[in-house]
Structure 1
Amino acid sequence: MNNNPVGWFEIYVKDIDRAKRFYESVFEVKLERLNSPPGAEIELWAFPMAKDGRGASGALVKMKDGPSNGNCVLVYFMCADCAVEAARAVASGGQIVREKMSIGQYGFIALIADTEGNMIGLHSMQ
């Protein structure tokens, strides 16, 4: 791993309008709507991001019957090919929650659970 390990985060919410107002007000930023992956019932509003900037960006996410409340944050680790790290997770005692899938122009993701039951995301462009 040559870069910072975290490349993206998602904060899951039930009331997207209320959450947008909160984060835009607290951080004095304007969130931008992102296109949802084809066929997904998901609404994403991204925090401002600079492609070559430092740190990770992320989005507020509203999904039908999705999680929220408490600590519903998903961290995505950057990978060359997320299927490779997903396979390593299984070999290391974890499990695959969602196999590698396309998210359109944004690349691919896979979801895994670590040995403690924590879900994390893997993201790659291939």
Structure 2
Amino acid sequence: MKANPIVWFEIYVADMTRARTFYEAVLQITLEPTENRAEDWPDMWMFPGEETASGACGALVKMDGVSPGGGGTLVYFSCDDCAEQASRVQAHGGQVIREKFAIGPYGFIALAADTEGNMIGLHSMD
């Protein structure tokens, strides 16, 4: 395998409006609904991204039979300074699990729980 192994991620949610509001406010982005969905397609809102850029694209997903929550895969969002995004978490219904801390030559991370109980990571080099 020559490329980065992750090509897509999904963060499962119970309340799409609440989850969208959280991620758009904390990351200061706009999520977009998926287009041309089949009738039985789950409710999906995609994070902004470029197919030819490095990193993975993904979406918030509300799907019958799939529950959100911690204890599984951890998705890290790239930030200029992860302390900035972490400072917006609590005001938008989430919980900061661990404030910004150094991870050696790999930069810094902060850990948070979103409004659905999913653990997320925030990463920056500064």
Q: Normalising by structure 1, report the TM-score.
A: 0.52
Cα distance between partner residues in 2 of 1:70 and 1:28:
23
Aligned residues between the structures: 75
Cα distance between partner residues in 2 of 1:54 and 1:34:
21
2:83 is matched with which residue?
none
RMSD value, Cα: 2.3
Task: Give the deviation of 1:67 after TM superposition.
Answer: 1.6
2:27 is matched with which residue?
27
**Taking every aligned residue pair, what percent have the same amino acid on both sides?**
43
Q: Give the SS at the match of 2:62.
A: strand
Do residues 56 (structure 1) and 56 (structure 2) align? yes
Q: Normalising by structure 2, report the TM-score.
A: 0.52
Superposed, 1:40-55 pairs within 5 Å as: 40-55=40-55
Cα distance between partner residues in 1 of 2:15 and 2:26:
17
Task: Give the deviation of 1:60 after TM superposition.
Answer: 0.2
Gaps of 5+ in 2: 76-126
Task: Give the deviation of 1:13 after TM superposition.
Answer: 0.3
Cα distance between partner residues in 2 of 1:12 and 1:72:
11
Q: Match of 2:57, as an amino acid?
A: S
Cα distance between partner residues in 1 of 2:73 and 2:34:
18
Cα distance between partner residues in 2 of 1:32 and 1:72:
25
1:11 and 1:67, CA in 2 relative to 1: closer, same or farther beyond 3 A? same
Larger relative strand fraction:
1
